Amino acid sequence: MYSHFRFYLPVALIGAGAYIAACTPSSSTCESFCQERVENASSWEVDQHASRDFSFYATPSNFSSDLAPGSLLSVEPVTDLFNYSIPSGLSMSRIVYTTNDLNGTTLPASAYVLWPYTPLSTSDQQEQGFPMVAWAHGTSGVLRGCAPSNYRNLQYHFMAPFLLALQGMAVVAPDYAGLGINTLPNGQEIGHPWLSGPSQANDLANSIIAARKAFPSILTAEGPFVAMGHSQGGGAAWAFAEKQVNEPISGYKGTVAIAPPTRTIDHLKNAFGNITEPWAQVIIAGQPKLIAAVTAVFPSYNYSGLTPVSYDRWFNVLKPLDGCLPTDSVAFTNVTADQLAVPDWYEAPEVQRFAKVAESGRKKFKGPLLVVAGEADIVVPLDTVEPAVDDIGHESLSSHSSQPDEVATVG
Ligand SMILES: *[C@@H]1O[C@H](CO)[C@@H](O)[C@H](O)[C@H]1NC(C)=O
Ligand SMILES: *[C@@H]1O[C@H](CO)[C@@H](O)[C@H](O)[C@H]1NC(C)=O
Ligand SMILES: *[C@@H]1O[C@H](CO)[C@@H](O)[C@H](O)[C@H]1NC(C)=O
Ligand SMILES: *[C@@H]1O[C@H](CO)[C@@H](O)[C@H](O)[C@H]1NC(C)=O
Ligand SMILES: *[C@@H]1O[C@H](CO)[C@@H](O)[C@H](O)[C@H]1NC(C)=O
Ligand SMILES: *[C@@H]1O[C@H](CO)[C@@H](O)[C@H](O)[C@H]1NC(C)=O
Ligand SMILES: *[C@@H]1O[C@H](CO)[C@@H](O)[C@H](O)[C@H]1NC(C)=O
């Protein structure tokens, strides 16, 4: 879901806004003033990219859909940090690897690894290499340009990856399917299944497996790691803990899920009955991205929930600019709630199926799991998180084997 900090995305340290939209989309609803504002937003956003050249995110020629998820496709051992604003002492690598979508289809994806100057010392370090945090980022957007590995500050800067790496952890962070790499060799687009925790959990798990293949001497097969994420990434992290039950990865020490979305479609339905609430406005504004996410999972849905106005803004304004969250917000300014999405679009069978497959929480998980939610959070409200935690007791802890797992909430 949106980062709570969406309006505080740090401004790039370098770059002076020289970007000019490459093409002039023919929108029928966003007139010249609107278009200029969106292009200004896009230009601000593009200035935060480390590179405007996305050649790193082209699918490598040795990609094949027959590969197992977690296969390594290419490694950039030392990322040139000239255009990144990463604290001195840290270094970075990027990898391209295979992940799998909710159908089990193999897809190419990218990730960064942020390296500490020196690893946190642990007693058994010689054998276990660097301790690792598998970091799942929050919503950055849903298009190609929204890959955190191509942002000067990796999007979450000191809020997570810098801080963790400065403390001696290697941070392995997937961009998620559809972000960064968004095209298969045959030209088919890879959609980003936004707010599909189990899908982003696949990306997280496969990035760990692939990063270990890329750097086996320091990210060892048994090395200790924790999964952690915020907002969309909180849902990914929780789903990752659930995935550990049947698909364990060695070295797993637990999960931290911060502000995890759980049942997004239910949350949206509740919003329509609480339309004046600030939290309702947030999820209502997210509908075009949710409609795109349903289409990514069920292509036959084909953006059916968009109205002619939101279809125009999506395809003729946002997409041509490859816009992420800030551009998205501006591209949909002045689109009224009734023009954002077709009434009751979420009752369609594909959307109901999406609601089930995209859900995080309420299932068996491998812990320990720390769930953190904020009382003042209107993006992922506490009253959407708490019931999901409470329901674990009824629905899954009873069927849980091995050691008792722990779950805790922090208000
Ligand atoms: C939004 O609508 C108002 C009133 O019609 C107009 O003045 C303003 O320019 C519009 N803003 C954008 C971004 O289109
Ligand atoms: C777009 O940015 C330019 C340059 O900063 C500024 O002069 C112009 O007023 C902006 N346009 C809009 C519609 O905000
Ligand atoms: C793809 O090629 C790279 C070298 O460019 C190699 O490191 C990697 O192992 C290859 N992956 C597969 C699955 O063949
Ligand atoms: C840094 O960004 C500039 C401007 O976009 C570009 O010309 C240059 O190639 C980039 N350098 C690196 C190392 O990526
Ligand atoms: C308003 O939202 C709450 C959850 O915050 C939900 O329980 C309730 O059903 C909603 N009201 C309506 C009328 O949908
Ligand atoms: C995944 O499988 C479902 C059910 O078979 C199908 O409707 C959907 O199109 C598939 N999704 C993709 C991305 O192929
Ligand atoms: C989706 O709908 C558009 C028209 O809105 C149509 O041009 C396109 O062929 C459809 N795609 C699929 C996969 O059904």
What's residue 128's pLDDT? 78
**The token pair that represents 62 in the structure block:** 């040795």
Of the given ranges (293-307, 331-345, 387-401), which has the lowest mean pLDDT?
387-401
Mean pLDDT of 342-355: 98
What's residue 24's pLDDT? 54
Number of the ligand closest to the Cα of 19: 4
Tell me if 241 sits within 8 A of 400, measured CB to CB.
Answer: no
Confidence of residue 121 (pLDDT cuts 50, 70, 90): confident
Higher pLDDT, 14 or 254: 254
11 Cα: distance to centroid of ligand 1 (angstroms): 25
Residue 400: pLDDT above 90? no
Helices of type H across 88-247: 125-128, 161-166, 197-214, 232-246
Pick the residue whose CA is nearest to atom 6 on ligand 6.
298
**The token pair that represents 26 in the structure block:** 């023919």
Q: Give the number of the atom of ligand 6 that is nearest the alpha carbon of residue 101.
A: 13
Tell me if 307 sits within 8 A of 344, measured CB to CB.
Answer: no
**Bridge partners of residue 227, in order along the sequence:** 134, 255
What's residue 151's pLDDT? 98
Residue 45: pLDDT above 90? yes
Pick the residue whose CA is nearest to atom 2 on ligand 5.
270
Alpha-carbon distance of 196 to 158, in angstroms, equals 26
CATH 3.40.50.1820 domain extents, the chain: 55-262+369-410
Kindly report, residue by residue over 132-156, the tens digit of the pLDDT: 999 999 999 999 999 999 999 999 9
What's residue 388's pLDDT? 97
pLDDT above 70 covers what percent of the chain? 88
78 lines ligand 4 (CB under 6 A): no
Number of the ligand closest to the Cα of 21: 2
User: Whole-model pTM above 0.85?
Assistant: yes
Strand order in the sheet with 72-76: 72-76, 91-100, 106-115, 170-174, 132-136, 225-230, 252-258, 369-372, 407-410
Among 3.40.50.1240, 3.40.50.1820, 3.90.226.10, 3.90.1150.10, name the CATH number for the domain at 55-262+369-410: 3.40.50.1820
Q: Give the chain's mean pLDDT.
A: 91
Kindly report, residue by residue over 90-102, the tens digit of the pLDDT: 999 999 999 999 9
**The token pair that represents 317 in the structure block:** 């304004």
Mean pLDDT of 20-31: 71
Residue 402: pLDDT above 60? no
273 lines ligand 5 (CB under 6 A): yes
pLDDT above 90 covers what percent of the chain? 86
Which residue is associated with the tokens 């812990």? Answer: 367
Instruction: Report which of 214, 179, 170 is spatially closest to residue 77, judged by C-alpha positions.
Output: 214
Contact residues for 296 (Cβ-Cβ < 8 A; gap 6+): 178, 190, 191, 192, 193, 194
Residues with CB under 6 A from ligand 2: 33, 36-37, 40
Confidence of residue 127 (pLDDT cuts 50, 70, 90): low
